[in-house]
């Protein structure tokens, strides 16, 4: 019986090990492992970078298949992750899915800048209160970052008009607007195009109005302060002419929390390797960087990415050894507990030999007092008891020594029955 119990316990532990391995390492049981990525708008920097990243993954991990899904906007990309249609997605830091998932890398930053004519007396945002401000085409009036800045300074959104980059210079020169708000990357892009249009019209670079970035980001931690260096948009004449403080929203590659830690860590490693390889051919890729692993932030980093960045990532061998060690501990404790329960149950429950002895004692008394016509029935019952005794001996429930002692008692009872018949 103990042997059968040990064999059953072994198979139970083996089944549990296989089940956990299936959950933790599903790729080990499949010829391929597919990762779905919502890559944002077609032609965007994030989409180009992830396309190059897919080629890098196919070379190092042929079994891993990256499935890129181009979305019309970053909002749609984040929605794909929230709906479970993607395992990774490019999303802005002010989207709720970033806080509920885990950041892998920071792809880029979208800065918000305020530009005024070179000779404007406006030194701070307070000087622009009540004045008409232009919105550069591509900057949505309902953009969350723009709304945050408008609410922070108490600006009147009804005083804002949308203008294209060629119209901005003329509007500022004619004083139809006091300033222009633009959102875009630091470097080549929409803001740099607007600066060039202003320079062509006024022959002077615009003045950049700084923002109280620390106060804004303390109220809205999903944004971050940003220092724009001189000449970031146009080198000659330098625009801005000095360092400008503003706020920015980060564009991140975000994974679901259910993604395996080792998969997220390997993706983080390959993304940073891909960035180094493409930095020369695609300068904008240089903006890709590792996220801040500070646990106090409101935007969590995926545990697998954080483990790789902090140098605490556990290898497959170490993880397997830890897993086997834990299984051995659990199995040992479970086996000891089962044996204790079994022993306690056996102590409380009468054994088969004890039950047989109790019945034989009763039969002995009944044979001595029973009428002669009942002896046959008592002998039949004695035969049944003998059969049960043999079964218990075969199943090792009764030892050979005890079997011999009980057999002697059965023989004595049979002799008593025979004597009663002869009397």
Residue pLDDT, tens place only, 305-351: 888 888 766 555 455 555 555 666 776 667 677 666 666 655 555 56
Please tell me the distance from the alpha carbon of residue 387 to that of residue 378, in angstroms, as a whole number: 14
Greater model confidence, 25 or 15: 15
Q: Is the pTM of this model over 0.85?
A: no
Residue 184 makes CB contacts below 8 A (sequence gap 6+) with 110, 111, 138, 190, 191, 192
Residue 25 has pLDDT above 60, yes or no: no
The confidence score (pLDDT) of residue 2 equals 46
What is the pLDDT averaged over residues 220-246? 89
**Which of 71-80, 189-198, 414-423 is predicted with the least confidence, judged by mean pLDDT?**
414-423
Kind plus residue range of the DSSP H or E element containing 70: strand 64-70
> Are the C-beta atoms of residues 208 and 117 closer than 8 Å to each other?
no
The Cα-based distances of 185 to 45, 201, 245, 250 in angstroms read 10, 23, 14, 10
What is the pLDDT averaged over residues 123-139? 87
The confidence score (pLDDT) of residue 123 equals 85
**Which of 145-159, 241-255, 402-416 is predicted with the least confidence, judged by mean pLDDT?**
402-416
Which of 30-34, 35-39, 212-216 tops mean pLDDT? Answer: 212-216
Cβ neighbourhood burial of 404 (10 Å; 0-12, 13-18, 19+) = exposed
Greater model confidence, 403 or 145: 145
The confidence score (pLDDT) of residue 317 equals 46
The residue behind tokens 């316990």 is 9
The confidence score (pLDDT) of residue 214 equals 93
Q: 211 φ, ψ to 5°?
A: -115, 155
What is the pLDDT averaged over residues 19-35? 60
What is the pLDDT averaged over residues 24-45? 70
The confidence score (pLDDT) of residue 17 equals 61
Residue pLDDT, tens place only, 168-207: 888 888 888 899 999 998 888 888 988 988 888 888 888 9
Where on the phi/psi map is residue 343: left (φ > 0), alpha (ψ -120 to 50), or beta?
A: alpha
Residue 226 has pLDDT above 60, yes or no: yes
């Amino acid at each position: 019986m103990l042997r059968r119990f040990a064999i059953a316990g072994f198979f139970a532990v083996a089944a549990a090990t296989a089940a956990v391995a299936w959950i933790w390492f599903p790729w080990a049981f499949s010829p391929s492992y597919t990762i779905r990525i919502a890559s944002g708008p077609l032609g965007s920097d994030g989409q180009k970078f992830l396309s190059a990243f897919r080629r890098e993954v196919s070379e190092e991990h042929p079994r891993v298949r990256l499935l890129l899904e181009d979305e019309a906007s970053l909002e749609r990309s984040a929605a794909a992750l929230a709906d479970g249609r993607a395992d990774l997605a490019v999303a802005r830091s002010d989207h709720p899915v970033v806080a509920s998932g885990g950041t892998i890398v920071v792809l880029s930053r979208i800065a918000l800048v305020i530009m005024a004519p070179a000779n404007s007396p406006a030194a701070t945002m307070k000087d622009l209160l009540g004045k008409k401000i232009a919105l550069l085409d591509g900057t949505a009036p309902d953009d969350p970052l723009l709304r945050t800045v408008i609410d922070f300074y108490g600006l009147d959104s009804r005083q804002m008009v949308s203008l294209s980059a060629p119209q901005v210079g003329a509007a500022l020169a004619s004083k139809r607007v006091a300033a222009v708000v633009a959102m875009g990357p630091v470097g080549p892009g929409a803001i740099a195009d607007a600066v060039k249009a202003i320079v062509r019209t006024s022959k002077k670079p615009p003045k950049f109005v700084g923002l109280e970035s620390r106060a804004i980001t303390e109220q809205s931690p999903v944004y971050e302060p940003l220092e724009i260096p001189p000449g970031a948009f146009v080198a000659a004449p330098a625009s801005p002419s000095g360092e400008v403080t503003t706020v920015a929203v980060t564009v991140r590659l975000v994974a679901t929390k259910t993604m395996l830690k080792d998969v997220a860590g390997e993706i983080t490693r390959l993304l940073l390797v891909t960035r180094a390889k493409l930095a020369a051919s695609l300068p904008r890729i240089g903006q890709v960087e590792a996220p801040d692993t500070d646990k106090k932030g409101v935007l969590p980093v995926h545990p697998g990415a954080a483990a790789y960045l902090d140098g605490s990532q556990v290898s497959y061998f170490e993880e397997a050894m830890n897993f086997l060690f834990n299984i051995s501990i659990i199995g040992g404790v479970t086996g000891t507990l089962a044996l204790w329960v079994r022993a306690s149950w056996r102590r409380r429950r009468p054994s088969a030999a004890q039950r047989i002895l109790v019945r034989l004692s009763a039969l002995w008394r009944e044979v001595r007092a029973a009428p002669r016509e009942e002896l046959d029935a008592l002998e039949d019952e004695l035969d049944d008891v003998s059969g049960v005794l043999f079964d218990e001996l075969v199943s090792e429930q009764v030892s050979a020594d005890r079997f011999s002692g009980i057999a002697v008692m059965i023989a004595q009872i049979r002799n008593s029955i025979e004597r009663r018949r002869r009397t």
